[in-house]
């Protein structure tokens, strides 16, 4: 006798929504999987294409390309040694110069600086990490170059001229020394920002424990914070090194782009990246273009090794921290 309650068409609603949701779920899954596959394809394609373009040179010179010095467009003879050595030399020195300073900034910002300074200087450092490298190169060529030529050069040559590093006076502002300084300025902010974040992650209780045991602040830093963050610091430095290795533009602007196999920092030089940037438009023969790609293969291999090392260290360190 009650009015029959209209039964809502639940089944139909459910099945319609079920279909839409099944479609929606699987299409979102596939679209996003496609994007992920796209990422993997891009990296695979980069590695394949660069090696493929280098093939004529790989076939002609083989692996000995790596330790041959000649780079002669007239006789079509090419070798990478000068650029490889210059890349490692300039990058190594820049990292050596930048790493301690960057870690000191990290310590200062996380431990020593008063609160107000921390925020201002911290964002200044992050700001510097965002400066485009071509702007740094512009500064390097027009401001730093003349200073190296006229002030640093003669002075360092007078004081340290007996070492192989400063054996002559620079004949212009474009030297490997200028490149080292520009690269160091480039990687200090990157490494400093990461090391500050690492130091801030050290749990306060172990720091307080160390202070509670009567350690001085420096002993606490050396005995607790540095060991705790060691893996992260090493990979922060390696990441900076990776940036410096592959930097083409700023280096091309200041290094003089003429290869020399010498320890003398006041000579011009040429790195793998700067040679590619400077020569690809002027490349005369197919073999020369292929050889430039071969330089690209070497550069890619080195930077992948450096980045992998950084990743591995971080991973090992993460696991060690969790245990």
Partner 1 sequence: MEASGVVPISLKSSGRSRRRQRTNYVAQGASVFAAFLAIGVLALVVISVLVRGLKAINLDLFTKNQVTFGETGGGIANGLVGTAIIVAIATAIALPVGIFAAIYVAEFAGSRASRVVRLALDVLNGVPSIVVGIFAYALLVVGSGYAAWKASVALAIVMLPLVARSTIEVLRLVSDSLRYGSYALGISKWRTVLFVVMPSAIGSIMTGATLAVARAAGETAPLLFTTSIFLPNQVVTDPSHAMAAVPLLILFDSESPDPSLNNQAWAAAFVLMFFVLVLSLSARYVLARRERKLRAR
Using CB under 8 A, which residues numbered 68 to 107 contact partner 1? 100-102, 104-105, 107
CA 283, CA 292: separation in Å to the nearest integer?
9
Minimum gap (Å) between residue 43 Cβ and partner 1: 5
CB of 244 to partner 1, least distance (A): 10
For partner 1, which is the closer residue by CB, 189 or 232?
189
The distance of closest approach from Cβ of residue 113 to partner 1 in the complex, given in angstroms and rounded to an integer, is 8
Q: Which of 178, 268, 291, 303 binds partner 1 (CB under 8 A)?
A: 303
CA angle at 66 for the pair 64 and 71, rounded to the nearest 5°: 95
Q: Does 320 bind partner 1 (CB under 8 A)?
A: no
Q: Toward partner 1, which CB reaches closer, 51 or 81? A: 51
69, HSE (Cβ side, Cα atoms, 13 Å): 7
| Smallest separation (angstroms) from partner 1 to the CB of 4 | 27
| 174 in Cβ contact with 90 (< 8 Å) | no
- Residue 181, both tokens: 């300084």
d(CA 52, CA 276): 16
The first and second tokens of residue 277, run together, are: 């940037």
Q: Which is nearer to partner 1, 236 or 262 (CB)?
A: 236
Q: Which residue of 216, 258, 286, 321 would you call a contact of partner 1, by CB under 8 A?
A: 216
Q: Which of 134, 171, 206, 320 binds partner 1 (CB under 8 A)?
A: 134
For partner 1, the binding residues in 230-259 under the rule CB under 8 A are 242, 245-249, 253
Give the binding-site size for partner 1 (rule: CB under 8 A). Answer: 86
Binders of partner 1 among residues 18 to 77 (CB under 8 A) are 21, 24-25, 27-29, 31-36, 38-40, 42-43, 45-46, 49-50, 52-53
Say what angle helices 272-279 and 81-107 make with each other, to 10 degrees.
120
Give the whole-angstrom CA distance, residue 180 versus residue 89: 9
Residues between 150 and 189 with contacts to partner 1, criterion CB under 8 A = 185, 188-189
Spatial contact of 149 and 172, defined as CB atoms under 8 Å apart: yes
The span from the CA of 94 to the CA of 191, in Å, is: 12
- SS3 assignment, position 215: coil
């Amino acid at each position: 006798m009650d009015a029959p309650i209209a039964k809502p068409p639940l089944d139909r609603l459910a099945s319609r929504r079920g279909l839409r949701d099944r479609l929606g779920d699987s299409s979102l899954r596939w679209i996003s999987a496609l994007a992920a596959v796209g990422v993997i394809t891009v990296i695979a394609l980069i590695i394949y294409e660069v090696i493929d373009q280098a093939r004529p040179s790989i076939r002609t010179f083989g692996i000995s390309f790596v330790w041959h010095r000649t780079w002669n467009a007239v006789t079509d003879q090419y070798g990478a040694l000068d650029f490889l050595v210059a890349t490692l030399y300039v990058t190594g020195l820049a990292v050596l110069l930048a790493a301690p300073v960057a870690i000191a900034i990290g310590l200062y910002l996380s431990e020593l600086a008063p609160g107000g300074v921390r925020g201002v200087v911290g964002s200044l450092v992050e700001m510097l990490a965002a400066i485009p490298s071509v702007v740094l190169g512009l500064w390097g060529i027009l401001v730093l170059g003349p200073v190296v030529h006229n002030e640093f050069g003669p002075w360092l040559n007078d004081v340290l001229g007996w070492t192989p590093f400063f054996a002559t006076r620079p004949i212009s502002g474009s030297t490997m020394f200028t490149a080292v300084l520009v690269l160091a300025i480039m990687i200090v902010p990157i490494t400093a920002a990461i090391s500050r974040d690492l130091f801030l992650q050290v749990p306060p209780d172990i720091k307080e424990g160390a202070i509670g045991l009567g350690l001085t602040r420096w002993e606490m830093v050396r005995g607790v914070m540095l060991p705790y963050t060691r893996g992260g610091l090493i990979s922060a430095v390696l990441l900076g090194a990776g940036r410096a290795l592959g930097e083409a533009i700023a280096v091309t602007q200041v290094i003089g782009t003429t290869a020399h196999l010498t320890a003398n920092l006041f000579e011009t030089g040429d790195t793998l990246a700067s040679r590619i940037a400077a020569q690809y438009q002027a490349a005369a023969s197919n073999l020369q273009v292929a050889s430039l790609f071969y330089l690209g293969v070497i550069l890619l291999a080195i930077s992948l090794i450096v980045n992998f090392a950084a990743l591995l260290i971080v991973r090992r360190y993460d696991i060690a921290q969790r245990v």
